[in-house]
Amino acid sequence: MTIAEFGLLNLWVSGLLLVLSVVVLSLIYLERKVLGRLQMRLGPMRVGPYGTLQTIADAIKLITKEDIQPEWADKRVYWVAPVLVFIPAFMVWIAIPFSSRVVVQDLDLGLFYVMAFLVLSIVGLVMAGWGSANKYAVIGGLRAAGQLVSYEIPVIMVVAGIAIFTQSLNLSYIVDQQSSVPFIIVLPLGLFLFFVAGLAELGRTPFDIYEAESEVVGGPFVEYSGAHWAVFFLAEYVSTFAIAALTALLFLGGWGWSASIQDWVGHPVGSEAIAFFEMFIKTYLVVLVIFWIRGTFPRFRIDQLMALGWKVMVPLSFVFVLLVAFATFYAWPWWVLSITNVLVLGIMGWYYYKRMHQDPAPFSIVLHSARKVRDAR
Amino acid sequence: MEKDNSGSSESESQTPKDTSPSENDGVKPQATSRRGPPVQLAPEVLGGDGEALSLLVSESLSVYGPIMGVAVDQVVVQVAVEKLTVTALKLRDDQRLRFNYFRCLATVDYHQYLEFVYLLYSTEYRYQIMLKTSVDYIEGAAPTAIVPSLSEIWPAADWHERESHDLFGVLFSGHPNMEPLLLYEGFEGFPGLKSFPFNEYEDW
Amino acid sequence: MNQESSLVEMMINMGPQHPSTHGVFRMVLKIDGERIVDVEPHIGYLHRGSEKLSESETYSQVVTLFDRLDYVSNFNNELVFCMAVEKLMSVDVPERAQYLRIILCELNRIASHLLFYGTYGLDAGAITPIMYSFRERERIQNLFESVTGARMMHNFIRIGGLKEDVPTDFNHRVGELLVKLSIAIDECDTLLSQNEIFLSRTKGVGVIGAEEALAIGMTGPPLRASGVVEDVRATDPYQLYDRFDFGIPVGTNGDAWDRYYVPMEEMRQAIVIIEQALEQIESGPVIAQLRRIIRPPQGAVFAHAENPRGDLGVYLVSDGTNKPYRVKVRPPSFCNLQALKTLLRGTYLADAVIILGSLDIILGEVDR
């Protein structure tokens, strides 16, 4: 690699870091506003016009906070943990394209690279929990490890399925494969599995038991304050955005829906801009759905979460891979795959419906008349 | 001798009102007010049901020598402290009474003796009753009194007795866990007692 | 404890400062993995000596102390104490005052249950229900502010009646408020009650049977959720509750979900009571004619009422002066909290918060 190429790479990476930081700022602001609206309130309104500078104020606050280290903490482990959580989250972005030319490195093994690095942050979480010398942190760290490792399997299975279907791990190629029909129609089961398991990977509601505020008060992050905690926070939002971008790339067609507009524009920069804009919109829509789910649902208990992961998600992901493998091997048309996926989803939905409504005594509250109780002496 | 109680105005008249202590509620008559009519006693509005309950209870507990009384609209049974456990058992197990619900234990300090008021309730017949017992005590002694614990008869009595121990220094024999409940560890004295200095201004 | 078990069991302290312990309450849990082996509750962080304090305050001043016992259901607390003194003095409280007391107390019940609903959702992890329920609480507290001048510590129910009459548009405002509250309660119900995740977190969790609940002394909605039909408003009617026809929700399973839903249904029944009271109320005096210095006769009295949290009882001993001789409060949360040991044994650590939340305790009245 020449000096010029190396310099250009540095420029790309720095640019990526800058863009990601701004994106994270906007995501935090968006989350607070969306949650506020869901809860019939306004969200941040005072700092800056409509509260837009709120995140910057929070960042300044976090950086200027006193960084307390517990006395009995294992210093090296305690210090390295946030780094180990943030760096993989950031490294993932090197291979994620936002249009056919807006990507730092268009790796042929892009999908594999992304999955590998997403898994690495688990180590950082466990180290954070262990190194904090706090029982709550240890419990939270172990819970996190258990949850994240279990939910890696469906994610990787779905990714393997897509790799089989498209015969490639290159993300730009996968997007191009969706030019005729996006994978949300071909592989809806895959979208469901990837999205739910992705939520569990991120530690977002309803799967945020390990950092639950009302129980283990922050889980593995309880002893981190100030800038150290800000790194964890940043890492979580970067990963959220990464999962959302992956969903948009793998299932929603990436930048392919505006292909006709891009061809009509013709201009190289202009059409790239349109592609970028489309990817951007799709990713933000997925992120909005993630926030919407956060505002609506309570959280699962750890054993219910694990039961859901191992008893529902893992078998379904195996079924998914089998379906895709058969379809690819026997070269069935794409709509066969689509129908079988919807069928599996339908069977699962029907099964859950039956299970929820089979309660013999559906409503357990009886209303007694006060008059009768009064007179029943 | 009557003591001036609860920090009322110092110029209370010293002539005690000589109404014989009514057996009904065990409240010793205290100094009268400076002006106004003489102290009257609370009304007794025990309806027909209450009187029937009173008869029933006195008949059921006749072996233990109860003193029946009235507290405005509730039946009061007073027994000696030695008979407390057997009385409580009888009240709980007698098929016509069935006091299965323990409401509250109130400890009242009457300067020479402590009075324990157990408020009981029967969910089946909707009877309410006050079970009272008195124990003499000496100020400054700890424990101030020893009373048999009722926590085996009614598990609900557990924390009420612990609280009484905490605030009044009463030892409930047979209680599984006499740890302080409301006061912090290292608190000296029993703040529930009338002799505890409460109203005098103290510099920190 | 042998060597092996001491390696396996861990003591966890859910300390006085914790987002989910509903006040300053400390639980020392002994856990084995994820299962709770034993729990040791520590209370007394909010002990202010209210009972001792009331021996040196006049009867009217003691009413303010009672305001602060269960600080979310102020009217109900004041009512109990005033009832005790009125019983002792054989005061005839005018009917209008009794109707207004009932209306205010039932509105306070709705406000208190809304707070329980919001915080319980927060315990389970849902961050939206609390915003909805607090918005409705704001409406009720606005009404209270127009009547008494304060949002919380009202000191409005006085011995003999009320402090003063309500504003002239009170009936109209309450009628409007009830319409909005019905819609809001249904909304809150839809948001959380049948949510699959909430159901799986609360159904079958922390079960206690009727016999055991009675033996351990539980009261109020947790007792009714275990199947026992005990409501002071029906079994021992006070004020004018025997003129109303309402329903008493009683659960069948005795689990956390039942303990959550009984207050929800009670809110609807409270609206029914208020509607009937608004129809029956007439104009008249709002306080009985009493001497300025309240000096009840000598004696002891016990009065109780149905608070949102259970059966609040007051044992009052008077010696004829203007200050009580002894005031003993029987707080419902105190009695419900005793059941914590039985409820928590053998459950998961994450259920500890759910079960504690379902008991609906307020530390102000546990510690007094």
- Which comes out higher in pLDDT, residue C141 or A133? C141
Are A274 and A308 part of one and the same domain?
Answer: yes
Chain C hits for B159, CB-CB cut-off 8 Å, are: 334-335, 337-338
Candidates A33, A138, A142, A215: best to mutate against C (most CBs of C within 10 A) is A215
* SS3 annotation, chain A: CCHHHHHHHHHHHHHHHHHHHHHHHHHHHHHHHHHHHHCCCCCCCCCCHHHCCHHHHHHHHHHHCCCCCCCCCCHHHHHHHHHHHHHHHHHHHHCCCCCCCCCCCCCCCHHHHHHHHHHHHHHHHHHHHHHCCCHHHHHHHHHHHHHHHHHHHHHHHHHHHHHHHHCCCCHHHHHHHCCCCCHHHHCHHHHHHHHHHHHHHHCCCCCCHHHCCCCCCCHHHCCCCCHHHHHHHHHHHHHHHHHHHHHHHHCCCCCCCCHHHHHHHCCHHHHHHHHHHHHHHHHHHHHHHHHHHHHHCCCCCHHHHHHHHHHHHHHHHHHHHHHHHHHHHCCCCHHHHHHHHHHHHHHHHHHHHHHHCCCCCCCCEEEEEHHHHHHCC
Average pLDDT on B29-42 reads 58
- What are the tokens at C284? 């008249």
Q: Please indicate, yes or no, if residue A356 is contained in any of the structural domains.
A: no
User: CA-based Rg of chain A, rounded to a whole angstrom?
Assistant: 23
Q: Could you name the CATH architecture of C58-367?
A: Orthogonal Bundle (1.10)
* One domain, residues A123 and A184: yes
Non-local CB neighbours of A359 within 8 Å, separated by 6+ positions: none
Is B136 strand, coil or helix?
Answer: strand
Contacts of A165 (CB under 8 A, 6+ apart): A183, A186, A187, A324, A327, A328, A337
Which residues of chain C have a CB within 8 Å of the CB of B183? 44, 47
Q: CA C160, C165, C170: angle at the middle one, nearest 5?
A: 130
- Is pLDDT at C189 greater than 80 in this prediction? yes
The verdict on A46 and A76 lying in the same domain is: no
Q: Which residue has the higher pLDDT, A23 or B48?
A: A23
**All chains having 3 or more CB pairs closer than 8 angstroms to chain A:** C
State whether C257 and A364 contact (CB < 8 Å).
Answer: yes
In the block, tokens 């084995």 appear at: C32
Name chain A contacts of C243, Cβ cutoff 8 Å.
Answer: none
Average pLDDT, chain B: 77
Asked whether residue B18 carries a pLDDT value surpassing 50, the answer given is no
Q: What is the per-residue pLDDT across A86-97, written as a single tens digit (0 to 9) for each?
A: 899 888 888 888
Q: Residue A256: inside a domain, yes or no?
A: yes
Query: Best of A365, A372, A375 to disrupt the C interface by mutation (most C CBs within 10 Å)?
Result: A365
Complete edge-to-edge strand list for the sheet that includes strand C299-307: C299-307, C310-318, C326-330
Residue A370 lies in a domain: no
- The predicted pLDDT at position A352 comes to 82
Same domain, A90 and A147: yes
The third-level CATH classification (topology) of the domain covering B47-173 is Beta Polymerase; domain 2 (3.30.460)
Alpha-carbon distance C28 to C179, whole Å?
Answer: 44
> What are the C-alpha distances in Å from A368 to residues A276, A321, B128, C227?
63, 55, 23, 11
Residue A374 lies in a domain: no
Contacts of A366 (CB under 8 A, 6+ apart): C249, C250, C251, C252
Q: B141 to chain C nearest CA, in Å?
A: 20
Residue B197: its pLDDT value, please? Answer: 76
Q: Identify whether residues A213 and A269 lie together within a single domain.
A: yes
Give me the residue spans of the domains in chain B: 47-173
pLDDT at site A2? 82
Cα C1 to the center of its chain, rounded Å: 40
The predicted-structure confidence for A21-42, as pLDDT tens digits, reads as follows: 888 888 999 999 998 888 888 8
Read off the pLDDT of each residue in B56-82 and give the average, rounded to a whole number.
85
DSSP C128: S
Average pLDDT over residues C113-118: 93
pLDDT at B10 (0 to 100) = 35
| CB neighbour class for A351 (10 Å; exposed up to 12, middle 13-18, buried from 19) | exposed
- Whether residues A38 and A107 fall in one domain: no
Predicted pLDDT of residue C302: 92
Q: Are residues A264 and A331 in the same domain?
A: yes
Q: For residue B30, what pLDDT band results from cuts at 50, 70 and 90?
A: very low
pLDDT of residue B33: 46
Residue C176 scores a pLDDT above 90:
yes
Q: Do B6 and C321 touch (CB under 8 A)?
A: yes
Cα of A212 to nearest chain C Cα, Å? 8
Reading the block at residue C356, the tokens are 């504690």
Q: Identify whether residues A247 and A318 lie together within a single domain.
A: yes
Average pLDDT for B79-89: 88
For residue C3, the model assigns a pLDDT of 39
- C-beta atoms of A298 and C124 within 8 A: yes
Residue range C160-173: mean pLDDT, rounded:
90
pLDDT along chain A (377 residues), means of 10: 83 87 89 88 85 87 83 82 88 85 79 88 85 76 85 92 89 85 86 91 79 61 80 88 90 80 76 85 92 86 85 92 90 85 88 74 75 77
Residues A51, A86 within the same domain: no
Give the integer Cα–Cα distance in Å for A103 and A9.
11
Return the domain boundaries, chain C.
58-367
Query: Can you give the pLDDT at residue C8?
Result: 65
Q: Do C317 and B29 touch (CB under 8 A)?
A: no
DSSP annotation of C78 reads: H
Q: Are strands C35-42 and C157-158 parallel, antiparallel or unpaired?
A: unpaired
Q: Is C118 helix (H, G, I), strand (E, B) or coil?
A: helix
**Residue from the list A215, A356, A367 with its beta carbon closest to the beta carbon of C247:** A367
- Give domain status of residue A347, yes or no: no
Q: Please indicate, yes or no, whether residues A139 and A17 belong to a single structural domain of this protein.
A: no
Domain that holds residue A225: 72-336
Query: Are A140 and A82 in the same domain?
Result: yes
**What's the CA gap between C62 and C76, in Å, rounded?**
14
Does a structural domain hold residue A368?
no
Angle at C324 between CA B166 and CA C330, to 5 degrees: 50
* pLDDT for residue C142: 93
Residues A134 and A55 in one domain: no
> Among residues A144, A130, A141, which one has the least CA distance to residue A77?
A130
Total domains, chain A:
2
pLDDT digits (tens, 9 = 90+) for C60-97: 899 998 988 888 999 999 999 999 999 888 888 999 99
What are the angstrom distances between the C-alpha of A366 and each of A363, B198, C251, C277?
Answer: 8, 49, 6, 24
ipTM of the prediction:
0.87
Q: Which residues pair with C179 in a beta bridge?
A: none
User: What is the H or E stretch that residue C305 is in?
Assistant: strand C299-307
* C340 to A64, C309, C333: CA distances (angstroms): 42, 15, 11
User: Cβ contacts (< 8 Å) between C297 and chain B: which residues?
Assistant: 39-43
Q: Quick check: C290 contacting B, CB < 8 Å?
A: no
- Distance between CA atoms of residues B77 and B25, nearest Å: 10
C269-306 burial string, b = 16+ CB within 10 Å, else e? bbbbbbbbbbeebeeeebbbebeeebbbbbbbbbbbbb
- Six-digit token string for C216: 């351990």
